[in-house]
Amino acid sequence: MTDAAPATTLARAGSSVGEVALRRRGAHTELVVGGVFVMDTVDVSTEVALATVALGRHDAPRRVLIGGLGLGFTATAVLADQRVEEVLVVEIAEPLIDWAGAGLLPTDLVDPRIHLRAGDVVEVLTATPGEWDLILLDVDNGPGFLVREDNARLYGPAGLSSAVAALAPSGVLAIWSSHPAPELLAALDSIEGGTAQEVLRRVSREGRDLTYGIYLLEAAAQADADLVQHHPRE
């Protein structure tokens, strides 16, 4: 967050997760959800990288699920890839969806391929097994710095397993973190039927060097997935 300039409120509304506020501070936009500062537009390179790193690991990423609309940077990076045919963005703070429709967000989300849905992405993951070529999750500041306590279930064994189960064969799961998260890498690595990897990105912000992480799991192709299913590792 840039502290020097005073903030002006662009929009404010109640939601099922508390008050949501969109603020302008100098040249930048800030998002606050339920009293927690969630993000700003000072450096969105890692929000974009969440999309581009995952897109780069799939030959035909037709169907993409995004957890957390935020200010829309991950979603616009996905839409920039013409291989993508359908994007479902699930956002728990409902006003953000209205504000996207009203053009209040600092990104352009007008595209027939994108659908914005109010809800909890954890529930969508559970309800859509085998559906997604890419699943991009940016709903917290990382597994060690939750925006909502309830999101802890996403990073536990059951939550991660249902995220991986929601991938189509050869699908890619990518999770954003504002810090290196070795425990998340280990948890992904322990899931059978895929390969886990960490991509670290350095960002300079207000004179500080910060390290962000993108945590990936690439699911096996169909033949391998069958192999895993029928002949589990000893």
Residues that bind ligand SAM (CB under 6 A): 33, 38-39, 47, 67-74, 90-93, 96, 120-122, 138-139, 147-148, 151
Task: State residue 59 phi and psi, 5-degree precision.
Answer: -75, -30
Residue 30 or 47 with smaller CB distance to ligand SAM = 47
Q: Indicate the residue among 138 and 193 with the shorter CB distance to ligand SAM.
A: 138
d(CA 107, CA 58): 25
Token pair for 39: 């993000």
Rounded to the nearest whole angstrom, what is the least distance from the CB of residue 49 to ligand SAM in the complex? 10
| 139 close to 171: Cβ distance less than 8 angstroms | no
Residues contacting residue 71 through CB under 8 Å, at least 6 positions apart: 29, 31, 39, 41, 44, 47, 105, 106, 107
Considering the complex, what minimum distance in angstroms separates the CB of residue 72 from ligand SAM?
5
CB of 169 or CB of 180, closer to ligand SAM = 180
Find, among 153, 143, 151, the residue nearest to 181 by Cα: 143
Least distance in angstroms from the C-beta of 50 to ligand SAM: 6
What Rg value do the Cα atoms of the chain yield, rounded? 17
Q: What is the DSSP string of 29-43?
A: EEEEETTEEEEESS-
The residue among 16 and 190 lying less far from ligand SAM, judged by its C-beta, is 16
For the packed helices 182-189 and 157-165, what is the interaxial angle rounded to 10 degrees? Answer: 60
CB 63, min distance to ligand SAM, A: 18
- Give min distance, CB of 148 to ligand SAM, in A: 5
H/E segment holding residue 169:
strand 167-177
Other Cβ atoms within 10 Å of 223 Cβ, number: 9
Looking at beta carbons only, is 71 or 87 nearer to ligand SAM? Answer: 71
Closest contact distance (angstroms) between CB of 26 and ligand SAM is 18
* C-beta closer to ligand SAM: residue 106 or 193: 106
